[in-house]
A = this chain, B = another copy of it.
Amino acid sequence: MKKEIDKKLQDKNIKPTAMRQLVFKVLTEQKTAISLPELEIKFEKADKATLYRTLKTFQENKLIHSIEDGSGSVKYALCQETCECQPEDLHVHFLCTKCNQTFCLNDIPVPTINLPNSFYLESVNMVIKGVCSNCKK
């Protein structure tokens, strides 16, 4: 179990420290994306700066991606196995305005946009806001 986690971290060139194993484990348990403040609450003991830097490391190594959903805090979610965080890998996200949860719509790739030639495209952040199935009931 711990071996598997270590492997996934090492595959992304992340040294598997105790802290990182724990954070990774929490991330795998999430059905929806999680913010730094939310992560802090899950840990009670860990320092927010450490968690912050852990997430940063994870993101730099493309283990997770960040979602700027306009909820007030940036959220993070695990990348798909093969994700290189290139524009063609990106998917749409959904923020529920009732429960404030952010979902990765992994099946919905972000549409291609024809930018004016004068612009150079690096990435795309597409967030749909609305009400999720749970809150609709």
Q: Choose among B70, B122, B131, B133 the residue that contacts A125 (Cβ–Cβ < 8 A).
A: B70
User: Is A92's CB under 8 angstroms from B113's CB?
Assistant: yes
Chain B residues contacting A121 (CB-CB under 8 Å) are: 128-130
User: Is A126's CB under 8 angstroms from B125's CB?
Assistant: yes
Chain B residues contacting A119 (CB-CB under 8 Å) are: 94, 128, 130-133, 136
User: Is A124's CB under 8 angstroms from B125's CB?
Assistant: no
Tell me if A18 counts as interface (CB < 8 A to partner B).
no
Tell me if A115 counts as interface (CB < 8 A to partner B).
yes
Q: Which of A48-93 contact B (CB under 8 A)?
A: 66, 68-70, 74, 92
Chain B residues contacting A105 (CB-CB under 8 Å) are: 115
Tell me if A108 counts as interface (CB < 8 A to partner B).
yes
Tell me if A123 counts as interface (CB < 8 A to partner B).
yes
Q: List 8 A-B contacts (CB under 8 A).
A: A94-B119, A97-B122, A110-B126, A115-B130, A118-B136, A119-B131, A123-B128, A126-B127
